[in-house]
Structure 1
Amino acid sequence: MYDHVADAIGAPDLIRLEPGLVCLRFETMKIVSAVAAVRHLLDRGVVRPGDTLLDSSSGIYAYALALACHRYDLRCHIVGSTTVDHTLRTQLAVLGARLEQMAPSEDLKLDQSRRVARVGEILAAHPDYHWMRQYHDDIHHLGYRAVAEQVLKETGDDAVTLVGGVGSGASTGALAGYLREHAPGTALVGVQPFGSITFGSEHVADPEIIIAGIGSSIPFGNVDHGRYDVVHWTSFRTALAGSIDLLRRHALFAGLSTGAAYLAARWEHRQAPTRTILFIAADTGHRYADSVFARHDEAVPLDSLTPHQVTTVRDLRLPWSRMAWHGAPAPAAARVTPPPSASPTSRRSSSAGC
């Protein structure tokens, strides 16, 4: 029996879609990292019950942090993206979290940088707040150790290829790190939207949208580029096709980043049919009901899609590109130097490693 709903929501399921292709399905994945991070901070005395935790979010992390604060009697302050919807705003309000939502913007890249700037303003006015730094503090890796142990136990396989949206770098990077402690042959495939600087695709614009949650317009310290073997870049329409096919073929209702990961995972499975390909479904599809699933008639068959194989990011092109990364360093624009500043409580040692 669970002691709090955060534990129940954070527990993933492994679903075998076909031989060698497995989905690691979360209801809301970032609860795993938020709860473990907050518990670590409390255990080390970095924060105490009644303190306020602050961060920026495009949606999923906001809900995760609000639940973690609810569980541990902490206050929560979120600077939210313009993409935060009515349902989430209502949940945050009832949970007691304070949400400052960015005004609508035609450029989601600008939305992200504005949120980070606002966090800095809040810290200046409230130096007692603790900035969670989900993009930069490796305490957000901690919660994925138990997930890695579950994967190893249930797959029983030392030849796993992990596929998932890169985002802040915590989920895929941490999972691969923990898996490699026991299964050194684990491969890591990252999925990115076009327009993200993290793996150097900022020069290729997707005319529809940068897929929130798996890309970035600013450097993320939690992304360890050296852990990634392959990177896929997918457009909105190819990710949409993946999401629709996943629901239609396997009855799995998941978000847009999952559609992109599923698309990439199917391709990797064809290239290495003897390996277990494990892809991450980070959240459910509910917030994409109108923007993705209502457009199911627009989805092209997945078998008609093939990635452009490139050897340099200069050759990236829509709608889908794939590149062997081989653990190369971060592109210049994605390097975090110096590390972002933090609030006084954040400057207490909270690093956990992976």
Structure 2
Amino acid sequence: MHAHIAEAVKAPDLISLRPDLVCLRFETMKIYSALGAVRHLLESGAVRPGDTLVDSSSGIYAQALALACHRYGMKCHIVGSTTVDRTLRVQLEILGVTLEQVEPSRNLRLDQELRVRRVTEILEANPSYHWMRQYHDEIHYYGYREVAEQVDREAPDGPLTLVGGVGSGASTGALATYLREAGRDVSLVGVQPFGSVTFGSQDVPDPDMIIAGIGSAIAFRNVRHELYDRIHWVNFDCALSGAVELLRGSGVFAGLSTGAAHLAARWERRADPSRTHVFIAADTGHRYAESAFARHAEAPAFDALKPREITSLDELSHPWSTGSWPALRAARQD
């Protein structure tokens, strides 16, 4: 029996779509990150029950931190993106979360800068609050050790290719790190939207980009670039195609970041069928029901999509590009 709902919903399911293709499906992935981080802060004495934790979020981290605070008797203050929808707003309100949303913006950089600026103002006015810094504090890696252990137990023996949206870097970075520590041969493939500074696509915007949580307009210190073997840059249309095909083919209803990861994993599988490919489904597709899934008839044909293999970031282009990250980093430094 679970002591709290956060413990019940955090555990993912490994779903075998094909013998060498596995979906690591979460209801809401960042609960692991938030629970592990809050538990560490309490055990280390950095915070005490009743303290207020504050951070910014595009959606799923807000829910995760709210549940972690509820679990451990903390107060929660979230500065949210406009992607925090009414369903989540109502949940946060009932859970006692203080939620502020920044002004609507189609620009990722402006949205994130506004949120960080507001968090800074809140901390200046309330110095006793603790900033969770999900993008920069390595404590957000800790909670994923348990997930890595589950993947190691349940995934087929042999080499793995792990594919997932990068975002803050904690989920993919932590899973790859812990699996490698356990002795697994792991290739790590990160997925990014165009317009994200994290892997150098900031000069190639995607005007339709609503893939919340996997890109960044500001540098995230939790992204450890040396961990990644390949990167896929995927635009909205391709991510939608991947999400629609996943739902149609497997019944898994997941968000746009999952659609992009599914697309990338299927391509990587074709390139190296000797490995088991595990892609991360970080959350469900409900918040994209109107903005994306309702447009399923517009999605490009999944099997017709093919990425452009690049050797320089100058070659990045829509709708989908991919390349070896160590080679691209070396070329950029030259």
The verdict on how the C-alpha distance between 1:78 and 1:297 changes in structure 2, with shifts beyond 3 A counting, is same
Runs of 4+ aligned structure 1 residues displaced above 3 Å come to: 327-332
1:176 aligns with 2:180: no
Corresponding residue of 2:18: 18
Corresponding residue of 1:205: 205
**Deviation per residue, 1:80-129 (Å, 9 max, x gap):** 11221111110000000000111222323201111001111111111100
The verdict on how the C-alpha distance between 1:11 and 1:331 changes in structure 2, with shifts beyond 3 A counting, is farther
Corresponding residue of 2:97: 97
Q: CA deviation at 1:156?
A: 4.1
**Contact persistence 1:225–1:330 (CA under 8 A):** no
**Deviation per residue, 1:163-195 (Å, 9 max, x gap):** 000000000000000000123521000000000
The verdict on how the C-alpha distance between 1:238 and 1:328 changes in structure 2, with shifts beyond 3 A counting, is closer
Corresponding residue of 1:262: 262
Q: CA deviation at 1:329?
A: 5.6
Corresponding residue of 1:347: none
**Contact persistence 1:158–1:186 (CA under 8 A):** no
Count of aligned positions: 333
Q: CA deviation at 1:305?
A: 0.4
**Deviation per residue, 1:120-151 (Å, 9 max, x gap):** 11111111000000000000001110100000
Corresponding residue of 1:291: 291
Normalised by the length of structure 2, the TM-score is: 0.97
**Deviation per residue, 1:197-254 (Å, 9 max, x gap):** 0000001011212521000000001000000000000000000000000000111100
1:321 aligned partner, one-letter code? S
The verdict on how the C-alpha distance between 1:21 and 1:189 changes in structure 2, with shifts beyond 3 A counting, is same
The verdict on how the C-alpha distance between 1:327 and 1:60 changes in structure 2, with shifts beyond 3 A counting, is farther
**Contact persistence 2:106–2:207 (CA under 8 A):** no
Q: CA deviation at 1:302?
A: 1.2
Counterpart CA distance in 1 for 2:6 and 2:103 is 29
Q: Flag structure 1 segments of 5+ consecutive residues without an equivalent.
A: 333-354
Counterpart CA distance in 1 for 2:289 and 2:164 is 21
The verdict on how the C-alpha distance between 1:296 and 1:257 changes in structure 2, with shifts beyond 3 A counting, is same
Counterpart CA distance in 1 for 2:328 and 2:225 is 6
**Contact persistence 1:195–1:210 (CA under 8 A):** no
Normalised by the length of structure 1, the TM-score is: 0.92
Report the 3-state secondary structure (helix = DSSP H, G, I; strand = E; otherwise coil) of the residue aligned with 1:318: coil
Q: CA deviation at 1:292?
A: 1.3
**Contact persistence 1:225–1:327 (CA under 8 A):** no
Q: CA deviation at 1:327?
A: 7.8
Q: CA deviation at 1:326?
A: 2.5
**Identical-residue share of aligned pairs (%):** 65
Corresponding residue of 1:326: 326
Counterpart CA distance in 2 for 1:128 and 1:147 is 32
Corresponding residue of 1:159: 159
